[in-house]
Structure 1
Amino acid sequence: MKDVGRTVSQNGYGVSHEQNHDEKALEAGRPEKDPYEVGWDGGDADPWHPRSFNKARKWLIVFIVAAGSLTVTCASSIYTSTYVQMEAEFHNSREVSVLGLSSFILGIALGPMFLGPLSEFFGRRPIYLVSWTLYVIWLIPQTVAKNVATMIVTRFFDGLAGSAFLTVSGGTVGDMFAKDELQLPMAAFTIAPFIGPSVGPIVGGFINQFTTWRWTYYVLIIWAGVMWVAIVLLVPETFHTILLRNKARKMRKETGDNRWLAPTEKVQKSVFKAVLVSLQRPFQLLMFEPMCLFLDIFCAILLGILYVFFGAFGIVFGTHHGFQPYQVGLTFLGLGLGMIIGMLTDPVWHRIRSRLIAKLSQETGVPGSSEPEFRLPPAILGSFLVSIGIFVFAWTSYPSVHWIAPIIGSAIFGAGNMLVFSGIFTFLVDAYPAYAASALAANTFVRCSFAAVFPLFGAQMYHRLGDQWASSLLAFLTVAMIPFPYVFFKYGKKIRSRSRYARS
């Protein structure tokens, strides 16, 4: 968010007492600046400004909010390790068990639609505190559940509450770091929710191998409780608009002058209207923006495949290779390692983008000229890697092939996954700057909706088609999506020129 309300003289609050207005500005027809508008004192150096935090404090906050995202997505997948024991106790089918996975992801899909705009009214911190408290509370009935229906319903509300960290945390990171410093902390935040699903089966595999399934939720409660303490004590409010409002309130109290107002206090906003617009605009982008639609579908297919793998890994490594539950969980290390490798290639893509910018600047004569399409090269490579990775996983899943081969395939898929997601996310933010939150909300909704549906037919697909052809069918879906990142890289500028929402 851009700094607003910078002033020309200071009184300790970064506001101006200047009464002799600039005559030349008035003569030029420029609007007169409100001398009582509260702004930042010295820009980012203002002690109220979150960018004035020292580096250690900033990174501690990044670590906590990223850990929140990881915790939630880990809780989504750790549930799959409880299937066997839970089904033995509740006497339900595997198809019914999978509903608990889908309901949690559906909650994650719906939460961003209203938690995002609510954070712009009430701030980041209140949303964190309320939602995380609810997240911990909804874990309790899962721990003591007497039937599978309780699991399915409470996991939906748990995912809904936990989605705040997948929605609002990116804003917190952006609040604290200037644009030229944002790349690394945003990369650390971006990878956390994608590493989480790989961590879940690893942790859950050990728990369910050596103790009862209910300890899965005891561990989650302890983990979430520690996170709750960290959030309460260490994560302050960082949203610029709210901080300026708080600053103005303090000034009015200390000076007794009610004319001191933050920019947001001059505008009457409706929470209901903001939530309504937030619900409408993502669907408008999906309907009227082909770039947004096809790239979101690509992300959705990849996340859907990732959640299908939770069942496929059990078949390939548990049934074919005779792995114990904790060993099946450890096979997800390949997927997680691939994602980390994908993230570590970020400096390479930064250099490629810099060269593209330099070339365009030379052609246009405008220094620093850039296009959103320059964000897509990692997605172009990643689109090939995900298909290759799934095909390798598919055709090395025979019992006669060493178990390391399909793990290598999953690592290639993980690296491609990370490249596609990072390229598409940054492209959407750059291409739709005025509607970036809506573009990402649309992506989250489509992506998590697919992830909620795919596991419902994944097990049946593997049983009917066989391991090799079931995985190959998933691979063919990704092959169909390979052209889109390249097409939008090549022709995106022309498409944006006819867009009603994109930056042209």
Structure 2
Amino acid sequence: MGLFSKKQDNAFADVDHREHSTTTSANSTAKITGGDVILVEFEPNDPENPMNWSDKRKWMTTWLLCFMCLFIGLSTASYSAGVGKMVAELGVSREAGQVGMFVFNASFAVVPMFLGPLSEFLGRNPIYLGCYIMFTVWFIPLALAKNIATIIICRLLSGCFGAAGTTIIPGTLADIWTTERRGLPIAMFSFVAVLGTVAAPLYCGFIDQNIGWRWIEWIQLITNGAMCLLEVLLLRETRGSSILSKRAAKLRKETGDPRYKSKSELEATSLKELLHKSTTRAAILMVTEPVVFFFSLWLAFAWAMVFLFFTVNNHGFSEGVAGLPYIACIIGTFFGLASCFHQAKLYENAQKKNNGIAVPEARLYWSCFGAVALPISLFWFSWTQFSSVHWIVPAIALCPLVWSIYMIFDAVQNYLADGYGEFASSAISAQGFIRNMLAASFPLYSQQMFVNLGYQWAGTLCALIATIMVPLPVSLLLPLRTCWR
């Protein structure tokens, strides 16, 4: 895998169940194992196997998850638009108000370490629906809050439940899409993840300015409530092992034969052991795999740039107008989506040139340009922050800035999913932890950094860090020898 190889640790290896004879029951294939257990499996064309779903069903599931991710992303950033009036009304400092942003993002860093194993233990749907319903409910006390402590607690709990709607999605897409076809669905997930984060200031400033910060939360309740209803009605279980476990339980009940078991039931471990293995595996990958560590750090820094600019000065504009420069961010996101379509073509070409097998590094072509565009955009934004320069000049810089962040986000998600196989969820959890913790911390000190260093030098510091990270994707692509051919 590029410069680094994946290590297959015996501690992570699956249990081997050797099959001796087969029988068929209902819509399942049942195999009798050495322990006189009838193993329930999917038939080759089983319609209940998520991998065999029609493209229509797969895309509907993908879009349901993407819209859920979009609405959760909007709630992440919408809070920052109302912080000014909120702290003024409650009589607390702006720093105290920013703690609400910190705890929300910090929960996105920690909770996924436990949600992944829970989704493997209980299935995807119970986690999605239970968490999304609770995420939506917490907007009510948030909108009615009378003190900052209530707001911080509500934001913390909202983030804990909202994390399910973003962090489990790559695993769900892997449940229904093959590796060869997964690039575009992951690109759509990356698109809504970035769009939801950067689009909220565009309209939330007007809401806060005209009807108050509490209505930002009420509107979030209404939109997420409607989306929640669609998820309950249309979203189906995608984890094959959960479907087979339910099928085996049904066969045991119908036949009275306790031998019917799914593979996951035979390999079942306690939830405690599953949680321990998942969290330790993520930590092990972070320490032992340089690719996981440096790519996580790269994406974390890029993602933190989004939250950094939520707290900078609004150039004296009214709250509503101050959100209009974020139109450039939205345009950058759409450019990113277009680039991902071309990246998918490059990946297909790499497959053809390697006997139908594309290495994970083939996901990184456009991220090389994103790595270069990030420091350039930061320099551009920072050194046009003068009263003599029209405000639209730094605003335009937000377009390539967000485009570059999108390219990095999509590349890292795809690379880790392809490169670490059965350990992909652990690798993605590790990068999610670093990414969200850094994003959570930036708003706490970004305002002071820009005030004390000035826009130019604070931005230059960020640009220099981004410049140091430029070689990361290039170093993995150099040995590939198929770039742009």
Fold similarity call, TM over 0.5: yes
- Tell whether the 8 Å contact from 2:38 to 2:260 is kept in structure 1 after alignment: yes
What code does the residue aligned with 2:281 have?
R
Residue 23 of structure 1: aligned partner: none
Residue 336 of structure 2: aligned partner: 342
Cα separation, partners in 2 of 1:136 and 1:348, compared to 1, 3 Å: closer
Distance 2:335 2:22 in 1: 48
Residue 203 of structure 1: aligned partner: 203
Work out which of the residue numbers 431, 443, 456 in structure 2 matches 1:455.
443
Aligned to 1:261, what secondary structure does the other structure show?
A: strand
What code does the residue aligned with 2:135 have?
Y
Cα separation, partners in 2 of 1:166 and 1:145, compared to 1, 3 Å: same
Q: CA deviation at 1:155?
A: 0.6
- Tell whether the 8 Å contact from 1:48 to 1:247 is kept in structure 2 after alignment: no
String of CA shifts for 1:231-286, please: whole Å, max 9, x gaps: 21111111100001111122222233222221112223110011111111212122
What code does the residue aligned with 1:337 have?
I
Task: Show the 5 A alignment for 1:80-479.
Answer: 80-312=80-312, 315=313, 318-319=314-315, 322-359=316-353, 361=354, 367-479=355-467
Aligned to 1:71, what secondary structure does the other structure show?
A: helix
- Tell whether the 8 Å contact from 1:245 to 1:264 is kept in structure 2 after alignment: yes
Aligned to 2:42, what secondary structure does the other structure show?
A: coil
What code does the residue aligned with 2:181 have?
E
Aligned to 1:237, what secondary structure does the other structure show?
A: coil
Higher deviation after alignment, 300-309 or 330-339: 330-339
Work out which of the residue numbers 461, 469, 480 in structure 1 matches 2:468.
480
Q: CA deviation at 1:309?
A: 0.7
Residue 38 of structure 1: aligned partner: 40
Q: CA deviation at 1:398?
A: 2.0
- Tell whether the 8 Å contact from 1:311 to 1:459 is kept in structure 2 after alignment: yes
What code does the residue aligned with 1:419 have?
M
Distance 1:257 1:80 in 2: 58
Aligned to 2:440, what secondary structure does the other structure show?
A: helix
Cα separation, partners in 2 of 1:268 and 1:347, compared to 1, 3 Å: closer
- Tell whether the 8 Å contact from 2:184 to 2:341 is kept in structure 1 after alignment: no
Distance 1:475 1:138 in 2: 37
What code does the residue aligned with 1:327 have?
V
Aligned to 1:37, what secondary structure does the other structure show?
A: strand
- Tell whether the 8 Å contact from 1:391 to 1:409 is kept in structure 2 after alignment: no
What percent identity do the matched residue pairs reach?
31
Distance 1:371 1:180 in 2: 11
Cα separation, partners in 2 of 1:231 and 1:352, compared to 1, 3 Å: closer
Q: CA deviation at 1:456?
A: 1.0
Residue 15 of structure 1: aligned partner: 29
String of CA shifts for 1:342-377, please: whole Å, max 9, x gaps: 121123223333444455x3xxxxx23443222222
Cα separation, partners in 2 of 1:241 and 1:444, compared to 1, 3 Å: same
Distance 2:108 2:333 in 1: 21
Distance 2:35 2:269 in 1: 22
String of CA shifts for 1:117-167, please: whole Å, max 9, x gaps: 000000011111221122123222211111112212221111111000112
- Tell whether the 8 Å contact from 2:343 to 2:365 is kept in structure 1 after alignment: yes
Residue 496 of structure 1: aligned partner: none
Residue 489 of structure 1: aligned partner: 477
What code does the residue aligned with 2:436 have?
C
What code does the residue aligned with 2:285 have?
L
String of CA shifts for 1:305-361, please: whole Å, max 9, x gaps: 11011012xx1xx32xx42212222221211221221121123223333444455x3
- Tell whether the 8 Å contact from 2:183 to 2:414 is kept in structure 1 after alignment: no
Residue 62 of structure 1: aligned partner: 62
Aligned to 2:309, what secondary structure does the other structure show?
A: helix
Distance 2:384 2:51 in 1: 50
- Tell whether the 8 Å contact from 1:15 to 1:36 is kept in structure 2 after alignment: no
Q: CA deviation at 1:462?
A: 1.0
**Structure 1 length-normalised TM:** 0.86
Residue 498 of structure 1: aligned partner: none
Q: CA deviation at 1:298?
A: 0.9
Residue 501 of structure 1: aligned partner: none
- Tell whether the 8 Å contact from 1:336 to 1:411 is kept in structure 2 after alignment: yes
- Tell whether the 8 Å contact from 1:72 to 1:159 is kept in structure 2 after alignment: no
Structure showing the higher strand proportion among its residues: 2
Q: CA deviation at 1:402?
A: 2.4
Q: CA deviation at 1:219?
A: 0.7
Distance 1:33 1:46 in 2: 26
Cα separation, partners in 2 of 1:178 and 1:292, compared to 1, 3 Å: closer
- Tell whether the 8 Å contact from 2:37 to 2:261 is kept in structure 1 after alignment: no
Distance 1:58 1:94 in 2: 44
What code does the residue aligned with 1:424 have?
V
Two-structure CA RMSD over aligned residues (Å): 2.4
Rg comparison, structure with higher value: 1
Gaps of 5+ in 2: 1-13
Cα separation, partners in 2 of 1:56 and 1:356, compared to 1, 3 Å: closer
